[in-house]
Structure 1
C-alpha cells in the first residue's frame, strides 16, 4: 500500500478530477475518495498498518491484485519485528520473464498477502504465468488510444494513489508491446506491460502479428503502410523477419510434416492416381522459381510439392521437369505405388514418362487439350472465308470432353467419336466405315432445329479448317492419353488460391517460397472435402458433359 503524507480537506475532495469534464472519466470518478477524517473498520482495509484511512479500497479488489500479479521487488530488508519491507522508491515489475524463475523454486523477493496460504491443489504462480502465456492468444485485442489508456492508469494499482501524467515513463520501442514505468505521488513505482512477455520475444503481440501477417498472405510492406497511416504501434520489418524465421516457419514445417505423413499413409494401401502441374512465379523464360505439385485424385489432397530455383538447373526451361522428378521420387520413397499420372502436354515430361516410367499410365489433362483445340479454331475463325466456324467452337470443345468421358478406356472409340464432329457440323448424323461409332448419339433432330442451325457446307473453307484441326496428327496421337479423362481442375483452382500467399508481382526468397507453399497446401487440404467444393466439382463435371 501507499501512505499519504497529509489528509486533504473536505472541500478539496471534489476537485480531484475537475480537469476531466467529459464522460470518459466517469469510471474514474466512481472510485470513492474520502479525504476527511473518518472512523474506519479494519475489515475494509487491505493492510491497516500500510494504508491510510483516507483511501478506501475494498478487500476483494486488492485481493485480486495481490493474487493475479507478482511484484518483483528489489532485495528486501528486514525491518523491526522481523517484518520484511521494500526499499522505497524502487521499480517493481508486474511481469517476470521465463528465465527469472528456476524450476522447482520460488523467488524470495516476492511480496504476498501474509494471510494467504496457497493450498497444494492450487497451481503455483509460475504455472499460472505459463498458462496465461499459452492462452494469451485467446484474449480479444482492441485498438486503444494512448490518452484513454493513460486515464485508466491514473491511480496506483497497489494502493490507489494518484499518478501524475509526467510520472509515466515509456520504455524503449518494443514493437507492439507498451511498457510504462509508473510512479505514484507517494514514491511507489512499478512497471506495467501489455501485452505480456513470452519466451525471448518482447511481447506476445509481436509474435501474433508476425504469424497473422504471414498466415493471411499479406505482404509486410502493405501492412506496415497500413499501421503507419493510422499511427498504430507495430513491429519493424527486421523484427517480422526474425520472428517469422524463428517461430512461424518451424510451426509451418511441423504442421505440414504431420499433414503430409497422414496423406501419404492413406495412399499406401491402394494404387494411386496422381495429377501434377507446375507453376512458375513469372511467365516466359524469366521465371526464377517453379513449384511442381502432385495431388491425389481420390482424396483431392496434396501429396507433395517441390520448389525449384533457376540456379539449381541449367535454364528456367528445365525447372518443371526437375520438380516433376523430385516430387515423384519423394512420393514413391514413402512406399506409395503410383499407377497413373495426369499432367499437361509438357514435352520433357512426356519423354520422361516414356523413358523412365513405362509401367505407369500417362494421361493428359483434357482441359489443356481442349484449350489447344479452342485456340486453333479461334484463329481460323477470324479469317473472312471461315464465316460460321466460330459459332461451333463451344460445341466442338464440349464434344471433345464428351468423347473422352464416354470412350470407356478405348482409344479407338475415343478417336472415332472425336472425328465424327466433322460430319455432325454438316448436318450428317450417320456414316459407314467406322469400326465402333457409326452415328451420332443424340436424338434425331426435328425440322425446326435443323433449319435454325448454322450448318457448315462440306468442302467450304470453314469446314476444311475444322477438318485440319480435328485430324491433326499430334492431336490424334495425344488422344491416346485421354482415355481415362483425368483432369487437373483442382490444381488449376489451387494455383489461383496460391496467389493469395505468393503473388507473381512480388519477389520472394527461397525460404519464403517453401513455407508459403506449405501454407497454401495446408489451406487446400483443410478445405478439400468441404461440401461446397464437392458440389462445385459435380457441376463442373456436368458442364463438361453438355454438348
Structure 2
C-alpha cells in the first residue's frame, strides 16, 4: 500500500481515495528537486517511493481534471507533464512543544565544574594515579616538537551545512581537547522575579508571535538536527544563559552578553574569565558576523599553520561579501582560505545582507552606499535585486501567509469587531499603491491587508473600496464572523457596506469625524468677523467624543446631543447636562456671521447624517499607529515595485503583530512600572524570516528555479503603469536631444 513520501502528508493509496500517486522520475535533476521538496532528512527515494497528486498544481498536469469532469470524463486518469515538479508548498503544522521540567540554571552551572572534576578523577583512577596530559595524533600528523608557536585552527568542512573554511594541500590535523571550564563571576545567585506578579522582561516588553514553539516550527519548516560541534565545544552547554533564575514565560531570549546593562538593572554584568569559545559548526542563520580589517587578516595569515614559516598571502578572489585568500610559505605549503560558507557558490552573507535590508525597512541604495564609504566588501546593486526577487521577497510572503493562517485559526467561532483604513504610498491623487488593512480592535492584531495598484481600478480614489472588498472577502472565505466594522467616512465605502453587507453594523471612527469638523471650523474662523469660532474648536471636538461615548447605540439621542452645541456656544443651556458654568467664556453672539458659519458646519446635512453612526466603543487609532510602522518599512518618498512593496508590507504586519500588544511591566509589589526610556521591541519574526530565507536557498539553488517559484508564490501581479505606453527608441531620443551649451 503506497504512502506519500512528502513530510506531513498522510495520503495513502486506497480504492476510491481520489488521489493519484506518482513514482519518482529517473532524471537526476528532477529526482533531486522532488527529493528536496519532500523535506525529509537524509531521504533517498527508492523504487517504491511515491508522491501524491496533492502536491502538484494543474499547471504540472497534461490535462486539467476539473475540465475533464465537466466534459463528462469522471475519475479520468491524471498524468503528469514530462518536466513536472511538485509546486504546491508544504504546509507543516507547528506542533506544540512539550518541554522537560526546567532545571535551576544557576545551580547547574555551579555544579558543573564539580561534575567534570569527578568524571576526570574517575578516568584517572582507571588509567593510573599519575595522570598526564594526553595529546591525540591523527595519521600524517607532525611530531609535537615541530608544532609552531602560533597555530591556526582549521575546521573540517561538513555537509550539510556546506563549509568553506581553510583547505590546505599538506595540512595536518590535531585534536586538542580542552577540559578547562570557563568560569564567570557570580555576584547575584538569587531569583529577582516574583512569579506572582505579571512582569515582562526588562529588555523585551512584548509578546511573541509563536509562544512555546521553536523558530523553525514557527516558520512552517521541519526542525533540523543540531550541527556537530568540535571536540573543544562540549563546555558550551548553557554558558550563554543567565545566572539569575527566571520564570520560563518571562525569559529574555534577546540577551546579549556584550550589551551594556542599565544602571537600574536588577542583574549584574556577566564576565567570562576565559572568554566565549567560537563555534565551528552552526546553522548559517544563527552565525554571528564580524568586521575584520585587511591588515589584521594579513597578520593572521602571515605564518604557515603547518610549519610556522612566514607566508606570502594574497587576495585570491572576491564574491560579494566573501573573500578568498591564498597563502604559500617558504617550505612550499599552500593554504587557501575563504571568509564564509557558501551554498552552490553563493555566500550566505550575500543573502543575509539583502534580507537584513528588507527586514529592517532600510533603503537598499543608501545601505550599499554606506558599505562603499566604509570600504566594506559588498555585492553590487544588481546582485541585491536578484537575491531580493528570488529569495527575500518569497520568504517574507511565505512567513506572513503562515503566520496569518495560524492567526486566523485562533479567531474561528468568534464574532469580530474590525477596524479598516487605507494608506496610499504618496499624498495627493496620483498614488500608485493603496494598501487597505483590517485590524481586530479587541486584540490589536492585523488580520489582513490588501495591496491595490492604481491601474487595477478606475482611478486612485477607488483603491480604498477595492481593498476593503478584497479584505472582507478574504476573511469571510477563512470562516470568520464579522459583526461590526469601523471605518472613516468614505462615500463609496458607506454605500458598499449599506448595499452589499447590510447584516454587518457599520460605524464611523470618531477621530476621523472630529478631524473633519476641526478642519472646517478652522477654515471658517479665518474668515472676516469669525475669529470668535477659534476658541470653540477644541470644545467642539471634545463634544463629538462625548456624544459617541455617552449615547451607546441610540442614533436619535446622538443627533439631539450634537445639535445642542449650536445653542451652547451662545450661552444658552436649557438642554445642556452640565452644571453651572462659573468661568467667563468668550461666547459667540447669536445671529452674527460667526454663529451662522458655525451652524453651517455643525448642523450640515452631510454631518448630521453620519452622527448617528459614530462608533460608541472602539476606535481605529491602532490603525494609525500601524500606518506609522508601515512608513518606517516602506517610506512614501521611496518608490518600490509591486513585489518589493508587498514584501515590506508583510514585514511591517509581522512587526506590528509581535510588538503592538505589549503589556506594561510590573514591580514586585504589583504596581505598574514606569520609565522614561520606552522599552525596546522584540524581533523574533526576524529570526523566522532568516530561517525561511536560508531554507529557500537550499530548496531552490538557482536563480531560474527560485524566480519561477517566486512568481507562483506572489500570485497575481498587476501590469506596470508604463505597459500601456509604447517604449521610446533610445537612438531616436539621443538624436533629437538638444543642449543650450552645445557648440555650433
Render the CA deviation track for 1:95-124: whole Å, top value 9, x for unaligned. Answer: 8786899xxxxxxx99775999xxxxxxx9
* Displacement of 1:427: 2.0
Q: Secondary structure at the match of 1:384?
A: coil
1:76 maps to what in 2? none
Distance 1:97 1:240 in 2: 25
Structure 1 contact 46–57 (Cα < 8 Å) conserved: no
Per-residue deviation, residues 402-452 of structure 1 (Å, max 9, x unmatched): 111111210111111111111222222223xxxxxxx32x33223xx1xx3
**Structure 1 residues 326 and 204 mapped into 2: Cα distance closer, same or farther (>3 Å)?**
same
8 Å Cα contact 2:162/2:341 also seen in 1: no
State yes or no: 1:362 paired with 2:506. yes
**Does structure 2 retain, via aligned residues, the 8 Å contact 1:366–1:485?**
no
Equivalences for residues 241-260 of structure 1 within 5 A: 241-260=385-404
Match 1:200 to one of 325, 337, 344: 344
SS at match of 2:394: helix
Tell me what 1:445 maps to. 581
Indicate whether 1:65 and 2:153 are aligned: yes
Matched, 1:417 2:561: yes
The reply on whether 1:147 has 2:286 as its aligned counterpart is no
Spell out, residue by residue over 1:145-189, the C-alpha distance to the aligned partner (whole angstroms, 9 max, x if none).
Answer: 10121011111123322102xxx2323321111111111111111
* Aligned equivalents of 1:348, 1:150: Cα separation in 2: 67
Q: Distance in 2 between matches of 1:53 and 1:476?
A: 94
Quote the Cα distance in structure 1 between the aligned partners of 2:659 and 2:395: 20
Q: Tell me the equivalent position of 1:477.
A: 609
CA contact (8 A) 1:169 1:180 kept: yes
Mapped partners of 1:183, 1:310: distance in 2: 61
Greater RCO (CA < 8 Å, at least 6 residues apart):
2
SS of the aligned residue for 1:182 comes to strand
Q: Is residue 283 of structure 2 the alignment partner of residue 135 of structure 1?
A: yes
User: Structure 1 CA distance, aligned partners of 2:350 and 2:435?
Assistant: 31
Give 1:343's match in structure 2, choosing from 470, 482, 487.
487
Pairs within 5 Å for 1:36-185: 51=142, 55-57=146-148, 65=153, 68-70=155-157, 134-164=282-312, 168-185=313-330
- Hey, what does 2:414 align to over in structure 1? 270
The answer for the alignment partner of 1:290 in structure 2 is: 434
- Among 472, 478, 489, the alignment partner of 1:334 is 478
Distance 2:411 2:292 in 1: 51
Report the TM-score when normalising by structure 1: 0.73
1:205: how far off?
Answer: 1.8
User: Aligned with 1:500: secondary structure?
Assistant: helix
Deviations 1:184-220 (A, max 9, x none): 11111121111222x2353222222111111111111
- Structure 1 residue 306, shift from structure 2 partner: 0.8
1:53 CA displacement = 8.3
Which residue pairs with 1:379 in the alignment?
A: 523
2:327 and 2:336 in contact (8 A); partners too:
yes
Partner of residue 99, structure 2? none
- Residue aligning to 2:628: 496
Q: Secondary structure at the match of 1:492?
A: helix
Distance in 2 (CA, whole Å) between partners of 1:97 and 1:169 is 29
Counterpart mapping for 1:278-317 below 5 A: 278-317=422-461
Structure-to-structure mapping, 1:23-42, within 5 angstroms: none
Match of 2:367 in 1: 223
After TM superposition, give the deviation of residue 266 of structure 1 in Å: 2.2
User: Shift in Å at residue 515 of structure 1?
Assistant: 1.0
Answering whether residue 320 of structure 2 is matched by residue 188 of structure 1, we say: no
Structure 1 residue runs without a partner (length 5+): 1-42, 71-94, 102-108, 117-123, 432-438, 536-547
Give SS of 1:443's match. coil
- Shift, 1:308, TM fit: 0.9
Residue aligning to 1:458: 590
Structure 1 residues 339, 172: CA separation in 2 closer, same or farther (over 3 Å shift)?
A: same
Aligned-partner Cα distance in 2 for 1:354–1:56? 85
Q: Distance in 1 between matches of 2:542 and 2:612?
A: 18
**Across the two proteins, how many residue pairs are aligned to each other?**
436
Give the drift of 1:143: 2.3
1:515 counterpart residue number: 647
Quick check: 231-240 or 249-258, which moved more?
A: 249-258
Maintained 8 Å contact 1:407/1:483: no
> 489-498 or 325-334: which moved more?
489-498
Q: Is the 8 A contact 1:366 1:486 kept in 2?
A: no
Per-residue deviation, 1:56: 4.1
Decide which of 386, 389, 407 is 2:551's aligned counterpart. 407
Shift of 1:126: 8.3
Alignment partners' CA distance in 1, 2:629 and 2:175 = 60
Q: What is the CA distance between 1:387 and its match in structure 2?
A: 2.5
Q: Assess, with a 3 A threshold, how the Cα gap between structure 1 residues 485 and 370 changes in structure 2: closer, same or farther.
A: farther
Match of 2:659 among 519, 527, 536: 527
Cα deviation digits, residues 284-340 of structure 1 (max 9, x gap): 331111111100111110111111112222322222211111111001100001111
Cα contact 2:135–2:175 (8 A) shared by 1: no
- Contact 2:426–2:636 (CA under 8 A) maintained in structure 1: yes
2:141–2:174 Cα contact (<8 Å) kept:
no
1:281 and 1:504 in contact (8 A); partners too: yes
C-alpha offsets along residues 39-75 of structure 1, whole Å, 9 cap, x if unaligned? xxxx9996998748884447xx86x936x335xxxxx
Conservation of the 8 A alpha-carbon contact between 1:133 and 1:196: no
* Structure 2 counterpart SS, 1:169: strand
